[in-house]
Chain A
Amino acid sequence: MKLYCLSGHPTLPCNVLKFKSTTIMLDCGLDTTAALYFLPLPLVHSPRLSKLPGWVSKDGAINLEKELKECSGRVFVDSQPEFCLPEKELLDLSTIDVILISNYHCMMALPYITEHTGFTGTVYATEPTLQIGRLLMEELVAFMERVPKAHAASCWKNKEIQRLLPGPLKDAVEVWSWSKCYSLQEVNSALSKVQLVGYSQKVELFGAVQVTPLSSGYSLGSSNWIIQSHYEKVSYVSGSSLLTTHPQPMEQSSLKNSDVLILTGLTQIPTANPDGMLGEFCSNLAMTVRAGGNVLVPCYSSGVIYDLLECLYQFMDSANLGTTPFYFISPVANSSLEFSQIFAEWLCQNKQSKVYLPEPPFPHAELIQTNKLKHYPSIHGDFSSEFRQPCVVFTGHPSLRFGDVVHFMELWGKSSLNTIIFTEPDFSYLDALAPYQPLAMKCVYCPIDTRLNFHQVSKLLKDIQPLHVVCPEPYTQPPPSQPHRSDLMLELQPPPMAYRRCSVLRLPFRRRYERIHLLPELAKSLVPSEVKAGVSVATVSAVLQSKDNKHVLQPVPKVAPVAPSKKRKRVLEEPPEQLKPKTLLSGAVPLEPFLATLHKNGIMEVKVEETADGHILHLQAEDVLIQLEDDATHIICDNNEPLRTALRDLVLRFLQKL
């Protein structure tokens, strides 16, 4: 059993598990942090961004004026933002049988895998994962296609040139695997390969293994996966949460008794408690609005935003924010808000029960009804005429490199009354803000990451007791910024197996058993004999048939009218029905009674020698050695067949025969 690790990102995993005869890809995360090296894509013409000086090396030797621009003291790539794809060279991706998706954030690289690698398998995901994942992909495509760039910059990626570039571009890794965004057509084609599954639904893969999604509590439809055969069980835990937010709670008990647990998607900000951050978010928002400023919240169009809106819904009145308008701007804003209301069965109990009242599960419906929350596909159109300040705007993309957020950064960045509040933990907020410096607006970092923290994980692992844990390397050491926090890492016995990008791990357990079925007529013919209480044995003579990873023992045909096939001829010299099964012996030869029997049979002089495994009996007169061991008995006598036979029969008296 092997694990190929195609992504080193702990929360955007992409691993391939080879288990029995199947090749399973676990998640397909897309690392979008590479976009931070690129210039923002302004939705409205920005004089500032359009007049940036090109970059030329100090000695003038390298001139990449067209590709690289200097902005706010840093060099950015002036091209459509690119993303870092999962590793494609580690194994032949066309051999992948299935892809299991755990949540909509971990499927963003799907088109890259399904469309250009010869992939012919199936993708399994829950319905909300598929639908919201589609929204996020469509949104990404829309963000890119709205601001087309004539040509892609690639010269700077040349190793010799990159070496000479200023930081942080110089230190960017895997630049050749970076790729621009996919198209809508590719998205559709990729998603057409998705087959929907429900929680606890068992899916058979080629009869060899069974995969089952379990609720993971992180987002709508998010799941952990159990991959098991009859005798082995691998659990894949990715992006789980024990907090009571909107999704169905995490199912933990089914993860018990795993041989291997692959653990990914823990919280990215272990020191930030989501409750505290939510409070921080609200108080900063209230403070800004009270002072007459606007609040910008760069966020994904699904996920934490539902909780933010719910929290604000409760907080607004108490903070006297009743009249402040909230805007949600995204090409998929409408669908996102509506989808969240229709996936009732995937919600937590509390929200599910509202459906029967009948009441929308999320309070944002009420916010929309009362005109407190308005949503628009883009800043163009209705929004520009209805827009009123001070206000709170939720919009993407959290990297601040593309999407409507770029416009608001240009619009509001110059006033210290305004505040930008970062709630998504995926990007370093300082890097995200780099091309907008100097910035007058206040910046607040309130990353809200509801995924498991280390404390919760160690409790969980204590409870479910997996034999081995595999996890990304960063989880095995304290965060680099806080080396003293030994509580922010996984400390397990045995220590977890750590992986990084391009690792290939041989998972530390060996398959020892395989289930084989006996046909009833064969079973009927067996003659079991009890060797000890509750244990019976019988010999079986049968033909083993293996098909679709199922093994069946069939009775041996009584006659062999058909000529033996070539294959059989090679393996067995004679037809099986002509082989008489040998009697099988069991039991041990007890020393004292055996000596007595020898004595009775006239063998007087016996010298007994104790060995590590048993005894050696030297029959001195006959010059015969008898080695008595637990699982073997040897009679060594030269050229005295009658004596050997006699002795053998004496030995056999003490053994049971089948």
Chain B
Amino acid sequence: MDGDCSSLLPAVCLVLADPKQTPPDDTSLEKLLDWFKDLHSQSNGQVLLEHQPCLLEFISSVCASKATDPAILSFTLKLTGLLAASKQDFHLLEEGGHLVCVFEREAWSVCDLWEDASVRSGWIQGLLNMLKHQQALDFICRQGLIKVILQLQNDRSLFVACLANQLLVQILKLLTPSDVTSGSDAVVSSKSSSSLDWVSVSSEITNAVVEALSSENHPQVLQGVQLLSLVLSQCEEPIRSSLWKDVLPPLEVLINRGSEPLTQPLMTVLRAAVMTPLLGQSEYKVEEFLEVMLGTGNRKEGILCATLIVKLEKCPKVLKRKAMDIILLPLQCVSTQSQDEKEVDLVLKEPLSQKALCISLLVQSLSSLAELAHKEYFEGVCIPSVTSRVVQLLRVCSGHCTSSLLHVSACTHLIGSCKIQRCGLDTLGALSVYEDNLDLRKDIFGVLLDYLKSPDSHATVLKKTFQAVLRWIGVCASFPDLLQFISNDLFPVLEKRMCDVRWEVRDSTLEFITQLTVALSDNSGFVEVLYTSGLVSILLSLLSDTEGYVRASAVTAVGEAVTSSVQQMALVSKINLLEEALAQMMIILSQDTEGFPRRAVVKTFTSWLKGSNPITALDSSLSSVLSLGGNDFDWEVKMHTLELAEALMEKMLTCCPYAVQSFSSSERTRLTQSLSKLKDLGLFDVLLNGLFDCDRPVCEKSCQLLLKLKRLNAEKADFDHDALVLKACGNRWGDEVQSRFLNKQQVKASEHVLIGGGEGTEKDLHCIKEIPLSVILQILDLDDMQRMLKLSSDHVVNSPRSLMEDILSAAQQSEENIVDCY
């Protein structure tokens, strides 16, 4: 704790303890607590209470006061817990009787305060804060607080009940090591177990859980189930298995009852249980319960449970198989073509005939499949058959299905259902990881193309379709028929979609084209197809779309198209794509009213610059891009411009980054040339302007780049530093640098005067119009600037000192107000 704070703390304590004062708002108190938490974690064994006796006084005065505000009491409870988290402070508090005074509510002067939920929550949080060592646990048990905590588990306030559960778990966690630890800790444990009968404590809690699970009262059952899942996921042996053993009978009853509102919490319990060694031990019945939860496949939760089972490593094959069947069931039912699954039909006949249920079952089934497909969980499942079913379902959804379906009613629910279409497309995309499916690619591309063509496809559905197409194109890249599909089928649809009425569709089409170009950029056939189609001319025309997002995406797409054309050199001469693209992009950068397209332009230049194949035609536009981008009023454009500058520096200055020592003369001239070229491009203006920008990220980035430059300068000591002179006049950065330069000169001059020289002010004034880069880099205290910039912008406002000052001044003001009133 620094001096300022420790001098303010007593006054703050007095204000807080004063019942006449209105307590500060919750956030101030919370911030104060956070500060104490930080102090505690940084204390390194220092005893806070010894240095700050005012805290003890505060605690006792709050407890003794008859007019304590609930908020202050709650704060005190939490604070005491925090302080008691360290053993030394705990002893101090215990010796002074403060702990009993705070946590024994009978000791409070005002008993009604317990009725306030914030007080109860503070009480639990205090105990939770304290519960970092065995002594704290001893205290809780000794004072018989476990009973109170168990009562609070069923508190009417959900927050309190939830906290109580956490506290109980924490208690159980602390109980655990006393039995299992050995060796060096044995002394401690024997000590603690001597003063505390952990078995009786844990059984008290266990009994409470068993009682809750057997209760008829739903909220109580729910709390019990929640505590159980917390224990399973957070506690170790032997608590975990002993609790599980005890709760098995009531849990079994609950699971077999299949009560709808409990399904989700019970699933959480099982999900926690399968992560523990309880799984795989038949006496613990975890698999048995999972099987019960699977049900007959007519519930969404059953499918969720099935997904969980399929992902388990240690799980009987039979159960996995059954779970897989449950996941596939709805899909099978709606896409089956014959009467071969009559039994299946019976189970799902009812749910599939209701629209909402039918859709939710199918969505769950499909998303489970997608989730499992990603990680290749399908064991013993005929993947192509699953894939064909998904394709079939997608056909049904678009009204194209020609097969005689079992569920005519289900079929009518599906036609045009965006939800299922989206999920189905996701699943189809996910299924692309299986090589077995490649034979189905014709069907798959067929259905995807239907979706892209259909005038009724929703924009979100189209987006999903694009994603699926991309995945499938990715895996089919080696097939010769792919290019034919792209040029004959895909491109005409894309051309139309780029002219869609909905901007979202135009945008996602452009994004898709960008991704496609990136994915297939090394495929010369694709690049040829791209340029022989009419796609590129539409791409260029979209650079002047009315929607900013679309223009931005068009910029990126054109950028990628150019990159790919440069990579496949053969075609470049045929088209003047680059020229046209450059011209339009410069118009966007200088005239576009929206930020997104301008950002995209700068980013595209950066990616061109970073590309492996240099685009020589860029050089002429770079200086305009730097100056336009550097002077943009959108800070993100400026950031991207700085990234462009970085790329440029990277390219021109770091030809041999590790060969600094042996700098040959030719190298040196090259560097000088590079620097003067960068100067011509206006790069230094961008960096220096950025350094004094009003947006912190821009300053930070500029500072980082200038530092890099400074380091380079320093490393290459023999390089002619004064060769590169920048004009300080007429630039935004000029004034700032000039004044700093003048300051420095004056200091120097005054030294000169002392020594005896007196001439030169005129010369100085002349000098400051042009300053060598190396001088600029020196006079700017870049390292210090960077340190300041790294601090978050609100670091002054957020300090504990200002917090305490706020609390004090608020108290003063309220006093003044009272005076005013009288």
Binding site for B on A (CB under 8 A): 271-273, 276-280, 282-284, 286-287, 290-291, 311, 315, 317-320, 446, 482, 484-487
The 6 listed contacts between A and B (C-beta, < 8 Å) are: A273-B455, A318-B503, A320-B541, A484-B405, A484-B411, A486-B411
Asked whether B144 is an interface residue with its Cβ less than 8 Å from the other chain, the reply is no
Contact A484 B412 (CB under 8 A): no
Asked whether B496 is an interface residue with its Cβ less than 8 Å from the other chain, the reply is yes
Contact of B455 among A279, A315, A317 (CB under 8 A): A279
**Which residues from chain B contact A284 at a C-beta distance below 8 Å?**
496, 499
Contact A272 B455 (CB under 8 A): yes
Q: Which residue of B lies closest to A272 (CB)?
A: B455
Tell me what chain A mostly uses at the interface: helix, strand, loop, or mixed.
Answer: helix
Asked whether B401 is an interface residue with its Cβ less than 8 Å from the other chain, the reply is yes
A278, A318, A482, most chain B CB atoms within 10 A: A318
> Mask for B547-589, Cβ within 8 A of A = 1, else 0?
1000000000000000000000000000000000000000000
**Which residues from chain A contact B496 at a C-beta distance below 8 Å?**
283-284, 287
Shortest C-beta distance, B92 to chain A (Å), equals 73
Please, how many angstroms separate the alpha-carbon atoms of A484 and B457 in the complex? Answer: 21
**Which residues from chain B contact A271 at a C-beta distance below 8 Å?**
399
Please, how many angstroms separate the alpha-carbon atoms of A165 and B77 in the complex? Answer: 102
**Which residues from chain B contact A446 at a C-beta distance below 8 Å?**
455
> Mask for B317-337, Cβ within 8 A of A = 1, else 0?
000000000000000000000
**Which residues from chain B contact A287 at a C-beta distance below 8 Å?**
495-496, 498-499, 538
Asked whether B245 is an interface residue with its Cβ less than 8 Å from the other chain, the reply is no
Given contacts A283-B500, A284-B496, A485-B415, 4 further A-B contacts (CB under 8 A): A276-B457, A283-B501, A290-B499, A484-B404
Given contacts A484-B405, A485-B399, contact A320 B415 (CB under 8 A): no
**Which residues from chain B contact A276 at a C-beta distance below 8 Å?**
454-457
**Which residues from chain B contact A320 at a C-beta distance below 8 Å?**
541, 544-546
Shortest C-beta distance, A208 to chain B (Å), equals 43
Asked whether B790 is an interface residue with its Cβ less than 8 Å from the other chain, the reply is no
Contact A280 B455 (CB under 8 A): yes
Shortest C-beta distance, A289 to chain B (Å), equals 9
Shortest C-beta distance, B467 to chain A (Å), equals 21
Q: How many A-B residue pairs have CB under 8 A?
A: 66
Given contacts A277-B455, A486-B412, contact A283 B405 (CB under 8 A): no
Asked whether B758 is an interface residue with its Cβ less than 8 Å from the other chain, the reply is no
Contact of A290 among B399, B402, B404, B541 (CB under 8 A): B541
**Which residues from chain B contact A311 at a C-beta distance below 8 Å?**
501
Contact B415 A484 (CB under 8 A): no
Please, how many angstroms separate the alpha-carbon atoms of A282 and B411 in the complex? Answer: 31
**Which residues from chain B contact A485 at a C-beta distance below 8 Å?**
399, 415
Contact A487 B456 (CB under 8 A): no
**Which residues from chain A contact B401 at a C-beta distance below 8 Å?**
484
Q: Which residue of A lies closest to B412 (CB)?
A: A487
Q: Which residue of B lies closest to A288 (CB)?
A: B499
Contact A486 B541 (CB under 8 A): no
Asked whether B403 is an interface residue with its Cβ less than 8 Å from the other chain, the reply is yes
Asked whether B497 is an interface residue with its Cβ less than 8 Å from the other chain, the reply is yes
Please, how many angstroms separate the alpha-carbon atoms of A284 and B453 in the complex? Answer: 12
Shortest C-beta distance, B455 to chain A (Å), equals 3
Contact B546 A291 (CB under 8 A): no
Contact A317 B500 (CB under 8 A): no
Q: Which residue of B lies closest to A277 (CB)?
A: B455
**Which residues from chain B contact A484 at a C-beta distance below 8 Å?**
401-405, 411
Asked whether B747 is an interface residue with its Cβ less than 8 Å from the other chain, the reply is no
Please, how many angstroms separate the alpha-carbon atoms of A278 and B401 in the complex? Answer: 24
Given contacts A290-B541, A318-B546, A484-B404, contact A282 B455 (CB under 8 A): no
Shortest C-beta distance, A228 to chain B (Å), equals 35
Asked whether B502 is an interface residue with its Cβ less than 8 Å from the other chain, the reply is yes
Please, how many angstroms separate the alpha-carbon atoms of A277 and B538 in the complex? Answer: 22
Contact of B501 among A273, A279, A291, A317 (CB under 8 A): A279
Please, how many angstroms separate the alpha-carbon atoms of A286 and B502 in the complex? Answer: 13
Please, how many angstroms separate the alpha-carbon atoms of A485 and B500 in the complex? Answer: 28
Contact A290 B538 (CB under 8 A): yes
Please report which residues of chain B, range 445-469, place their CB below 8 angstroms from some CB of chain A when the two chains form the complex.
454-457
**Which residues from chain A contact B399 at a C-beta distance below 8 Å?**
271, 482, 485
Please, how many angstroms separate the alpha-carbon atoms of A283 and B499 in the complex? Answer: 5
Shortest C-beta distance, A20 to chain B (Å), equals 41
Asked whether B477 is an interface residue with its Cβ less than 8 Å from the other chain, the reply is no
**Which residues from chain A contact B258 at a C-beta distance below 8 Å?**
none
Shortest C-beta distance, A415 to chain B (Å), equals 15
Given contacts A276-B456, A318-B546, A320-B544, contact A487 B499 (CB under 8 A): no
Asked whether B788 is an interface residue with its Cβ less than 8 Å from the other chain, the reply is no
Asked whether B408 is an interface residue with its Cβ less than 8 Å from the other chain, the reply is yes
Asked whether B219 is an interface residue with its Cβ less than 8 Å from the other chain, the reply is no
Please, how many angstroms separate the alpha-carbon atoms of A287 and B535 in the complex? Answer: 10
Contact of A278 among B411, B501, B503 (CB under 8 A): B501
Which 3 A-B pairs give the minimum distances between C-beta atoms?
Answer: A276-B455, A286-B499, A318-B546
Please report which residues of chain B, range 653-680, place their CB below 8 angstroms from some CB of chain A when the two chains form the complex.
none
Q: Which residue of A lies closest to B408 (CB)?
A: A486
Asked whether B525 is an interface residue with its Cβ less than 8 Å from the other chain, the reply is no
Please, how many angstroms separate the alpha-carbon atoms of A280 and B412 in the complex? Answer: 24
Please, how many angstroms separate the alpha-carbon atoms of A273 and B497 in the complex? Answer: 17
A283, A291, A487, most chain B CB atoms within 10 A: A283
**Which residues from chain B contact A272 at a C-beta distance below 8 Å?**
455
Asked whether B534 is an interface residue with its Cβ less than 8 Å from the other chain, the reply is yes
Contact B499 A319 (CB under 8 A): yes
Shortest C-beta distance, A394 to chain B (Å), equals 18
Given contacts A320-B541, A320-B544, contact A279 B405 (CB under 8 A): no
Contact A317 B546 (CB under 8 A): yes
**Which residues from chain A contact B455 at a C-beta distance below 8 Å?**
272-273, 276-277, 279-280, 446
Contact B415 A487 (CB under 8 A): yes
Please, how many angstroms separate the alpha-carbon atoms of A485 and B415 in the complex? Answer: 10
Please, how many angstroms separate the alpha-carbon atoms of A487 and B417 in the complex? Answer: 14
**Which residues from chain A contact B404 at a C-beta distance below 8 Å?**
484
> Mask for B71-93, Cβ within 8 A of A = 1, else 0?
00000000000000000000000
Please, how many angstroms separate the alpha-carbon atoms of A315 and B415 in the complex? Answer: 29
Contact B497 A283 (CB under 8 A): yes
Q: Which residue of B lies closest to A278 (CB)?
A: B501
**Which residues from chain B contact A283 at a C-beta distance below 8 Å?**
496-497, 499-501
Please, how many angstroms separate the alpha-carbon atoms of A429 and B323 in the complex? Answer: 51
Please, how many angstroms separate the alpha-carbon atoms of A127 and B501 in the complex? Answer: 35
Contact B456 A291 (CB under 8 A): no
Please report which residues of chain B, range 513-538, place their CB below 8 angstroms from some CB of chain A when the two chains form the complex.
534, 537-538
**Which residues from chain B contact A317 at a C-beta distance below 8 Å?**
546
> Mask for B103-126, Cβ within 8 A of A = 1, else 0?
000000000000000000000000
Shortest C-beta distance, A425 to chain B (Å), equals 14
B405, B408, B496, most chain A CB atoms within 10 A: B496
Please, how many angstroms separate the alpha-carbon atoms of A599 and B499 in the complex? Answer: 101
Please, how many angstroms separate the alpha-carbon atoms of A317 and B503 in the complex? Answer: 13
Contact A279 B544 (CB under 8 A): no
Please, how many angstroms separate the alpha-carbon atoms of A482 and B411 in the complex? Answer: 14
Q: Which residue of A lies closest to B550 (CB)?
A: A318
Please report which residues of chain B, range 379-430, place their CB below 8 angstroms from some CB of chain A when the two chains form the complex.
399, 401-405, 408, 411-412, 415
Please, how many angstroms separate the alpha-carbon atoms of A271 and B450 in the complex? Answer: 14
Given contacts A291-B534, A318-B545, A487-B415, contact A273 B405 (CB under 8 A): no
Q: Which residue of A lies closest to B413 (CB)?
A: A487
Shortest C-beta distance, A372 to chain B (Å), equals 16
**Which residues from chain A contact B408 at a C-beta distance below 8 Å?**
486
Please, how many angstroms separate the alpha-carbon atoms of A291 and B456 in the complex? Answer: 25
**Which residues from chain A contact B500 at a C-beta distance below 8 Å?**
279, 282-283
> Mask for B486-502, Cβ within 8 A of A = 1, else 0?
00000000011111111
Q: Which residue of B lies closest to A311 (CB)?
A: B501
Please, how many angstroms separate the alpha-carbon atoms of A317 and B497 in the complex? Answer: 17
**Which residues from chain B contact A277 at a C-beta distance below 8 Å?**
455
**Which residues from chain B contact A282 at a C-beta distance below 8 Å?**
499-501
Shortest C-beta distance, B231 to chain A (Å), equals 52
**Which residues from chain A contact B454 at a C-beta distance below 8 Å?**
276
Contact of A318 among B402, B411, B456, B547 (CB under 8 A): B547
